[in-house]
Amino acid sequence: MVAIAFHQTLGTLHSQGYLSNSGFHHEFGNASVKLIPRGFKVDVGLLKRGSGNSSKRSFAVIQASTAHTSVSGPVSSPSSNSTNGSPKKSNETALILIRHGESLWNEKNLFTGCVDVPLTRKGVEEALEAGMRISNIPIDMIYTSALIRSQMTAMLAMTQHRRKKVPIIMHNESEQAKAWSQIYSEDTKRQSIPVIAAWQLNERMYGELQGLNKQETADRYGKEQVHEWRRSYDIPPPNGESLEMCAERAVAYFREHIEPQLLSGKHIMIAAHGNSLRSIIMYLDKLTSQEVISLELSTGIPMLYIFKEGKFIRRGSPIGPTEAGVYAYTKSLAQYRQKLDDMLH
């Protein structure tokens, strides 16, 4: 179902002109180069923390014009450099967090929770824009929730990545699913990125509020009660999850499955939801329960962390201008981007 929905979405994008921007395309050897001129203006307002003892975090509006280039060919990521033929672990890895683009129920102002709702047209555009912003950052593995809106966001974002590897959802739900989705070409495997879907990264389950209009619910139960259900840390809505309960499963999954991959040198992207990502950021940034309840994440805006020497360092949001100085890049990520650029000359 996910694969069908994704291919249908890509078909719609092509027919509506999203993925058919005019530009220059040329092939030489085993490399393909595509130049797409694109100007954009980005408001990098990411995290707003409104607690009394913390300041508002924001970034300036950046006007940028970029020539977005794509590369298909052998480019190694910083974590896979080798000097004698054997892989060499990098002492730092990238972690990208993306909240899914706007969904149809976001648009209708309904409580969504774990109901499986797809993206709106605006959400598709946000996913593509997110892909532009991370197009120069190495990605070895992708984790999503089990919900289609996060999977659409991840897949659409990767269509904009310059490395042009293909994201492939891993089907490990049964031995038959594993066998039927097996890839028999080693070269194709090298040009692919595994996508792991995990229910533990799902949005907070809103219980009896799911499907209700947020304004009508506030009118019925009172603004204070609805605000308590939505923004308290440990008070769940009727038959639903609190943020604390969501954090227990999301952080446990991150520590057990994702953090070991970062330790091994893999660069990771997570496409998930407001509350599951808030939970993970609470762990990464060591926020208190009072700080995390006032944390807001914009849809479709990627956050970049660097994992180095057992610590997570937040680098903000990577934008995509041609001026390298605008990137919150480390040396190894800058070198990776340079390798991509060198492929074009």
Say if residue 206 carries a ligand binding annotation.
yes
Say if residue 106 carries a ligand binding annotation.
yes
Dihedral angle sign, alpha carbons of residues 319, 325, 316, 57: negative
Residues linked to residue 308 through DSSP beta bridges, in sequence order: 92, 311
Say if residue 314 carries a ligand binding annotation.
no
Say if residue 161 carries a ligand binding annotation.
no
The tokens for 302 are 């990627």
Say if residue 57 carries a ligand binding annotation.
no
Is the CB of residue 248 less than 8 Å from the CB of residue 278? no
- What is the spatial distance between Cα 74 and Cα 18, in angstroms, rounded to a whole number? 27
Is the CB of residue 140 less than 8 Å from the CB of residue 79? yes
Determine which one of 68, 100, 267, 273 is catalytic: 100
Is 241 known to be catalytic? no
Say if residue 214 carries a ligand binding annotation.
yes
Is 7 known to be catalytic? no
Residues linked to residue 67 through DSSP beta bridges, in sequence order: 37
Is the CB of residue 72 less than 8 Å from the CB of residue 32? yes
Say if residue 102 carries a ligand binding annotation.
yes
- What is the spatial distance between Cα 240 and Cα 208, in angstroms, rounded to a whole number? 7
- What is the spatial distance between Cα 185 and Cα 58, in angstroms, rounded to a whole number? 46
Say if residue 278 carries a ligand binding annotation.
no
Say if residue 29 carries a ligand binding annotation.
no
Query: Which residues, in sequence order, are CB contacts of 61 under 8 Å at separation 6+?
Result: 41, 42, 43, 44
Determine which one of 203, 241, 259, 291 is catalytic: 203
Say if residue 104 carries a ligand binding annotation.
yes
Say if residue 39 carries a ligand binding annotation.
no
Say if residue 112 carries a ligand binding annotation.
yes
The tokens for 147 are 């919900």
Known binding residues are 99-106, 112-113, 149, 203-206, 214, 230-231, 274-275
Binding site per annotation, positions for substrate? 99-106, 112-113, 149, 203-206, 214, 230-231, 274-275
Residues with catalytic annotation? Answer: 100, 203
